[in-house]
Amino acid sequence: MLKSLFNLFYPTVCLACSDLLLANETTICTTCRHELPLTRHTEMENNEIIKRFYGRLELKHASSLLYFHKKGIVQELIHKLKYKNHQEVGTFLGEWYGEELKAIHEKVVFDEIIPVPLHKKRLKERGYNQLTTFGHALSKSLNVPYNDSILHRDVYAVTQTKKSFFDRIDDKKTAFGVDYTPTDYGKHFLLIDDVITSGSTLEACGKVLASIPNSKISIAALAYNQ
């Protein structure tokens, strides 16, 4: 009763198009869900993300759920997840992505899910890491632990829009650190992020994780910016 009254005055809308959601819809309407540009990367052994990181980072697996297009539906969803605290987007897409990753999980077994970390100052400013609900949804789907403490960001990043591509890569090289014990040796880490563009952040994080003896690295992102 109370929920019905609340929905009457504060109706739930699709976070992609802002249309009213039907009773059987959550987070994203059926129309927008069908319009999401799926990559199908988990069905391709040598997909475009693997190729992007070739020679930069040795990966056991790499994929994204969606393609990112400027001013598109995916950008709208990730903007609301990242800056408007709509963490339900991370859960919704994480559950979907988790089902896709299950199909390869017997062949590629992950030991821990690791989010790209925020600097403590950035985390305090924003109040949350946009990858948390995404990571927890993957963790539940794959039955793999989520670990947001092993990897940390040591450099507070100011805006980089005026920096060159190579300057940004140099900044990333010393931006991250890792805290591990012998119990982490030999683990296969699934490193997650929201959008892959140049890949420099994931490359830097992956190389830090690769310093753990006998570790293996894979990558999963919500979206890929071609």
CA distance 39 to 92: 17
CA distance 146 to 192: 10
pLDDT for res 9: 45
pLDDT tens by residue, 53-63:
999 999 999 99
CA distance 74 to 195: 10
Q: Taking residues 56-79, what's their average pLDDT? A: 96
pLDDT for res 190: 98
- Token couple for 68: 């990112």
pLDDT for res 171: 54
Residue 3 has pLDDT above 50, yes or no: no
User: At CA 157, angle to CA 156 and CA 161, rounded to 5?
Assistant: 170
- The band of 156, judged by pLDDT with boundaries at 50, 70 and 90, is confident
Helix (H, G, I), strand (E, B) or coil at 211: coil
User: At CA 146, angle to CA 170 and CA 12, rounded to 5?
Assistant: 100
Question: Helices (H) and strands (E) in the chain — how many of each?
Answer: 9, 6
pLDDT for res 49: 97
Contacts of 212 (CB under 8 A, 6+ apart): 178, 180, 184, 185, 187
pLDDT for res 1: 45
- The band of 11, judged by pLDDT with boundaries at 50, 70 and 90, is confident
Q: Taking residues 8-19, what's their average pLDDT? A: 81
pLDDT tens by residue, 186-218:
999 999 999 999 999 999 999 999 999 999 999
- The band of 158, judged by pLDDT with boundaries at 50, 70 and 90, is low
Mean pLDDT of the chain: 90
pTM of the entire predicted model: 0.89
- Token couple for 131: 């990858």
Residue 178 has pLDDT above 60, yes or no: yes
Residue 88 CB-density burial (10 A; 0-12 exposed, 13-18 middle, 19+ buried): middle
Closest to 226 measured CA to CA, from 119, 13, 74: 74
Are 194 and 130 in contact by the 8 Å Cβ rule? The answer is yes
pLDDT tens by residue, 93-124:
999 999 999 998 778 999 999 999 999 999 99
Contacts of 9 (CB under 8 A, 6+ apart): none
Pairing of strands 151-153, 176-178: antiparallel
SS (H, E, C) 44-86: CCCCHHHHHCCCCCCCCEEEEEEECCCCCHHHHHHHHHHHCCC
- The band of 67, judged by pLDDT with boundaries at 50, 70 and 90, is very high
